[in-house]
Structure 1
Amino acid sequence: MTPLPTPLTGVVPPVCTPLTPDNEVDVASLERLVDHLVGAGVDALFVLGSSSEAAYLPDGHRATVVSTVVRHVAGQLPVLAGAIDMTTLRVLDHVRAAAAAGAAGAVVTAPFYTRTHPAEIARHYRLVAERGGLPVLAYDLPVSVHTKLDPELVLELAGEGTLAGLKDSSGDDGALRRVILGTRARTGDAPSFSVLTGSELTVDSALAMGADGVVPGLGNVDPDGYVRLYRAARAGDWQRARAEQERLCALFRMVYVGSPARMGGSSASLGAFKAALHLRGVIAHPTTAAPQIPLSPEETEQVGKHLAAAGLL
């Protein structure tokens, strides 16, 4: 196992989970996808996040994903594992399983389904950090868990050592900046707490604010583009970073090819990512987990046009 850097920086793709047509994990395709990402020069891998369809996968599938990726990456990069479930005891089961499989860290949302108080959210993270056996990154995902993590709570948990980082998918750039500024005020130029943006579309601005890295779902499709963007920003070449970001913004429009009249946003976006990976020859099937609705042949053709326009076919 490669330990989690402090802070974790760079491009950390949330690895898609290739599936067979009967909804089993396609291990061979998952290994090719790992090779595709590692070969692009990414800095770590994040399995069992939203782009991994973690919410759709039974525990056996989750275990297969973590063990396959940890084994195949063979210590080249740290592997983070999402431990996303409704309440603390269920999350602890996932964290301990990930630790046993060799993951370097766990990514954990606030509790959901139950109505929670900020004191319960804090207790949740403290218990997972104390008892799970892995460094914990908070996953701010209010669209799915219906709780926005308060920046002051994140900073409090970071300051006491409960949290090793934040993956911010809230879309609240003001809150993201408060965490970045609060972290830097506490630690100066030697932070141990990682602030990662989950947005595909505003990576250059997040890095300019001081974010440490990016966790882009679209990074499955074009990891090289995000690596170029990150490296240009770190070199202070903001013109080149902006140009790369704008190319990726155009590519991201593939997530809108699925008709909202017949499918939800998850089917459309994850279906587009998987269709793109299939068209690029990385995975054998574009299958998304049930009950998601697959893209039509016409919609898949539109995904191919976006890839061609971005120079990826």
Structure 2
Amino acid sequence: MTFAGIIPPLCTPFHDDFSVDTGSLRRTIRFLLGAGVHGVFVLGSSGEGAFLPDAHRRAVVETAVDEVAGRVPVLVGCIDMTTLRVAEHVAAAEAAGADAVVVTAPYYTRTHVAEVERHFRLLHERTALPLFAYDIPVAVHTKLDCDMLLRLAADGVIAGLKDSSGDEAGFRHVLLGRHDRGLDGFVVFTGSELVTDAALAMGADGAVPGLANIDPHGYVAIFDHVRDGSVEAARKEQERLVRLFAITSVASQTRMGGSSAALGAFKAAMRMRGVIDNAVLAPPQVPLNGEELAGIQDKLVEAGLL
């Protein structure tokens, strides 16, 4: 499998009883593949992977692998608090037919860079799948060290990086270090919806933007424009998507957390576009109210998506 391009982190649709809506999940995958995405990533942050019990995770992975049917890579988030717990998720993803796994630093306990490095090395020993490091300090409270990442890449422990740190300078240091050390096989993705064009121009191999659940065509267009050297066209498309991303701040964070506001907006927009049947969030996240949903609908109309 080739890992490059636009790989959306799929939202996980639920029924009212919080069971996985596999029908809507299959429809989401068909919608994304029809837009020309280059892979799918399930059970990441947008997929609420950390909220889900093992049976739910299994249903998501098995449904995705079956629906994709080998057309593009299926990456699976294996996110948990400790190495041994993550190792079980990695084994389940491998057994279900995943093409790669995506792993954060351990969380809950405070970790040292030596412990984070050991975490990745032990997981690499336990799977034949490509292992991607996921840098998301806002969620796990640990920023992945640049030198550690490059060392793990040089040793063949990690195949790539999904950088959702928001540290653009650090992201550039990783790209520069990859070049300087000749790590051509080490794949680097941005997780940002807002600077995809800039990251690709810097040399990133692709992007994993949550907003692509709503407008995958826009992100595929950015990737194509940058690849073709059409910088201005990429910039204009990116600016349109930046405006669309404002849906994530429609809900008031005086009554809910940022995850509820952002993922609630993503799912509401997907439901309004007919991609999924229900905008239910995994508990304890809080649902959006009618006024907030109307605001999201207005922004979809402004973006030409409704």
Structure-1-length-normalised TM-score: 0.96
Distance 1:304 1:132 in 2: 44
Indicate the residue corresponding to 1:104 in structure 2.
99
- From 157, 168, 177, the counterpart of 1:173: 168
Indicate the residue corresponding to 1:90 in structure 2.
85
Distance 2:51 2:78 in 1: 13
Indicate the residue corresponding to 1:218 in structure 2.
211
CA RMSD of aligned residues (A): 0.8
Deviations 1:223-265 (A, max 9, x none): 0000001110111100000000000000000001111111110
Q: Deviation of residue 16 (structure 1)? A: 0.4
Distance 1:145 1:280 in 2: 32
**Any residues of structure 2 matched to 1:177-188 within 5 Å, and which?**
177-187=172-182
* 1:291 is aligned to 2:284: yes
Q: Deviation of residue 134 (structure 1)? A: 1.3
Indicate the residue corresponding to 1:20 in structure 2.
15
Distance 1:119 1:260 in 2: 36
- From 182, 189, 192, the counterpart of 2:185: 192
- From 147, 162, 166, the counterpart of 2:157: 162
Indicate the residue corresponding to 1:209 in structure 2.
202
Instruction: Give the AA of the match of 2:277.
Output: A
Q: Which runs of 5+ in 2 are unaligned?
A: none
* 1:145 is aligned to 2:150: no
Distance 2:107 2:13 in 1: 26
Deviations 1:78-134 (A, max 9, x none): 100000001111000000100000000000001111111111111110110111231
Find runs of 4+ consecutive structure 1 residues off by over 4 angstroms: none
Distance 2:212 2:198 in 1: 17
Distance 1:39 1:50 in 2: 23
Q: Which runs of 5+ in 1 are unaligned?
A: none
Distance 1:186 1:235 in 2: 27
Give SS of 2:181's match: helix
Give SS of 1:50's match: coil
Give SS of 1:137's match: strand
Distance 2:128 2:86 in 1: 12
Distance 2:68 2:196 in 1: 26
Q: Deviation of residue 11 (structure 1)? A: 0.1
- From 295, 299, 302, the counterpart of 2:295: 302
- Equivalent residue pairs, number: 306
Structure-2-length-normalised TM-score: 0.99
* 1:278 is aligned to 2:279: no
Distance 2:35 2:159 in 1: 25
